[in-house]
């Protein structure tokens, strides 16, 4: 089985992996969420919301030890086919703090943030042999019912709600993500962090000093 290492092969598992997501309050690292293994005991990733950085549109994915893996920045409005969209860039961060661009995501304008509107992701550097994008998000993230698929339509990761957990909780603070074998889990949760921000959830900047 081939590994799809976008951030690092360290985050590619040889088997299907189920991970849980729990939101954090905004007073903790600007909000964001914590990703745990299926037992809920071991923290695999943490995502810092933008409130802690005093900069709107910037998120950080960290490993379970708190070291930065991925920095995500939102760029200004761009025009494509008479439609304005914002673009997110994801940069891998090495142990020396050096950054390299590894993927980009096109965020539609607000009127397009509707169900069944695919959000597309490109791996950098670009590969001219494909459709111009490598993955897309299908479904509707706020409903906790969406998937990340490749250009062939294969699902690489799926967001859903654990029905047993849902019965015990009044809010949607806990959901699960199924990541297929060989897929870079750090990349998957970088995309999920951006979706969380786009739809104004736990990573979104709500503090007054965010510019």
DSSP string for 191-211 = HHHHHHHHTTSTTS--STT--
CB-based contact 74:86 (threshold 8 Å): yes
> 């169900």: which residue's tokens?
115
Most confident of 5-14, 29-38, 104-113: 5-14
Q: Which residues pair with 68 in a beta bridge?
A: 62
Q: What's the pLDDT score for residue 201? A: 85
Determine the longest span between alpha carbons in the chain, in angstroms: 48
Q: Which domains does the chain have, with CATH numbers?
A: 13-198 (2.40.160.200)
- Model pTM? 0.85
Stretch (H or E) spanning 102: strand 99-107
Most confident of 27-41, 66-80, 124-138, 180-194: 180-194
d(CA 77, CA 141): 22
Q: What's the pLDDT score for residue 111? A: 47
- Segment 41-44 long-range contacts (CB within 8 Å, at least 24 positions apart): 44/19, 44/185
Could you tell me the pLDDT band of residue 126, with boundaries at 50, 70 and 90? confident
């Amino acid at each position: 089985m081939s590994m799809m290492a976008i951030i690092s092969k360290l985050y590619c598992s040889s088997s299907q992996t189920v991970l849980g997501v729990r939101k954090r309050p905004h007073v903790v690292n600007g909000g964001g969420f914590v990703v745990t293994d299926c037992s809920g005991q071991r923290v695999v990733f943490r995502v810092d919301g933008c409130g802690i950085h005093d900069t709107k549109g910037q998120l950080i994915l960290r490993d379970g030890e708190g070291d930065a893996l991925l920095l995500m920045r939102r760029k200004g409005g761009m025009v494509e086919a008479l439609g304005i969209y914002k673009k997110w860039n994801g940069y891998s961060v090495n142990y020396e703090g050096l950054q390299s661009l590894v993927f980009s995501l096109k965020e539609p304008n607000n009127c397009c943030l509707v169900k069944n509107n695919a959000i597309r992701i490109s791996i950098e550097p670009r590969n001219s042999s494909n459709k111009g994008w490598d993955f897309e998000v299908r479904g509707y993230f706020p409903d906790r019912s969406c998937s990340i698929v490749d250009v062939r339509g294969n699902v690489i990761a799926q967001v859903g709600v654990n029905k047993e957990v849902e019965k015990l909780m009044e809010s949607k603070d806990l959901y699960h993500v199924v990541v297929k074998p060989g897929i870079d889990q750090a990349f998957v949760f970088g995309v999920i962090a951006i979706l969380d921000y786009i739809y104004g959830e736990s990573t979104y900047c709500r503090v007054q000093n965010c510019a």
